[in-house]
Structure 1
Amino acid sequence: MENIIDTKLDKFKLRFGNEKDVPLILQFIKELADYEKLLHEVVATEEILMDSLFKQKSAEVVIGEYENKSVSFALFFHNFSTFLGRSGIYLEDLYVKPEMRGKGIGKLMLSFLGKLAIERGCGRLEWWCLDWNEPSIQFYKSMSAIPMDEWTVYRVCDEALVDLAKGYDS
């Protein structure tokens, strides 16, 4: 199989996702959303993911396989820091199947993204975490990740996005 990246964890390999993985990627997205109690918000479809990930190339996916079974994924894209004057990697989703947690898979996936960020000349790796997700918060802090408590995330979507865009029309 092409595209296989060895890791230091026995029987665990990484690979970049491809078009054939779209159903798997959507499955992982839904499993993560269910864990986060947000499944009702998932509107992504295989067609949308195919277009966004592999035609527009808006993001990339890394899939983790343990004993040749897909058990985790990370979906990320590049952002840009004006302060650093360099790109960064923004991790949108990281998910490890519940039965595979505690084996070091999540840490290896984050380490891989850190290595990828350095190889690509990026200045940072960042992500969001739900305030109530204490297991993940502790996991991230154990790897020296620091919460950006002084920042608040703002979002405009759905009809509000349409209304905002209308403000540009002359």
Structure 2
Amino acid sequence: MGIIIRVARPEDLDVLLEFEQGVVSAERPFNPTLIDGKIQYYDLNYLMSTEQAVVAVAEEEGIAIASGYALIKKAEKPYFNFDTYAYLGFMYVKPEYRGRGVNKLILDFLMDWSKEKGISEIRLDVYDKNESAIAAYEKAGFEPLLLTMRLRS
């Protein structure tokens, strides 16, 4: 049967909430500013209900194995050469399915959705020390743009 990518449904919410905590766990080693315990990054109900976003789910044999979303946003600065862009996030693949190209399938689905909406600028954030994620995004055609620096005094 293989892996299929589809739009998330309300009945996916429980597994998506589990995936969200998987994202948090994966990011903790890269971000010392995260609080302990459960963190809610995403308003999944909103993302699944607005025309400005799509939440994608990868499934194999009826089991959800990965997720991601695209959200259309207005350009933050008036001097950008685009008015809107698609922001990608919630990129998660269950550990036992990593290395099989599932993230690329999700990315392709989200990029296709963005293009269908007339969006040509697509952005995402990745931690600068997350070398495997950076390599995967570069392989999909993304390139680094900005590095945020911080100082804790």
Change (3 A) 1:118 1:102: same
Q: Is the 8 A contact 1:86 1:122 kept in 2?
A: no
Q: Is the 8 A contact 2:48 2:55 kept in 1?
A: no
Counterpart in 2 of 1:168? none
Identical aligned pairs, as a percentage? Answer: 26
Q: Is the 8 A contact 2:7 2:57 kept in 1?
A: yes
In 2, Cα distance between equivalents of 1:14 and 1:39: 32
Q: How many residues align?
A: 142
**Post-superposition CA distance 1:121-145 (Å, at most 9, x none):** 0021110001111111111112221
1:79 aligns with 2:73: yes
1:135 aligned to which of 132, 137, 146: 132
Structure 2: which amino acid aligns with 1:53?
A: L
In 1, Cα distance between equivalents of 2:129 and 2:41: 27
| Structure 1: 4+ residue segments shifted above 4 A | 54-59
In 2, Cα distance between equivalents of 1:67 and 1:153: 43
1:119 aligns with 2:116: yes
Change (3 A) 1:44 1:105: same
Q: Is the 8 A contact 2:7 2:54 kept in 1?
A: yes
For structure 2, the residue ranges without an aligned partner over 5 or more in a row are 29-33
RMSD (Å) for aligned C-alpha atoms: 2.8
Q: Is the 8 A contact 2:70 2:114 kept in 1?
A: no
Larger displacement relative to structure 2 (76-85 or 29-38): 76-85
For structure 1, the residue ranges without an aligned partner over 5 or more in a row are 1-9, 155-170
TM alignment of 1:15-34, pairs within 5 A: 15-34=6-25
2:36 aligned to which of 30, 35, 40: 40
1:101 aligned to which of 92, 98, 101: 98
After TM superposition, the score normalised by the length of structure 1 is 0.71
In 2, Cα distance between equivalents of 1:45 and 1:107: 22
**Post-superposition CA distance 1:77-131 (Å, at most 9, x none):** 1112353444321012211111111111111111111111111100211100011
Q: How far did residue 19 of structure 1 move?
A: 1.7
**Post-superposition CA distance 1:15-47 (Å, at most 9, x none):** 11122221111110001111111573644399x
In 1, Cα distance between equivalents of 2:149 and 2:125: 9
Q: How far did residue 71 of structure 1 move?
A: 0.3
After TM superposition, the score normalised by the length of structure 2 is 0.78
In 1, Cα distance between equivalents of 2:47 and 2:143: 29
Greater Rg over alpha carbons, structure:
1
In 1, Cα distance between equivalents of 2:24 and 2:11: 22
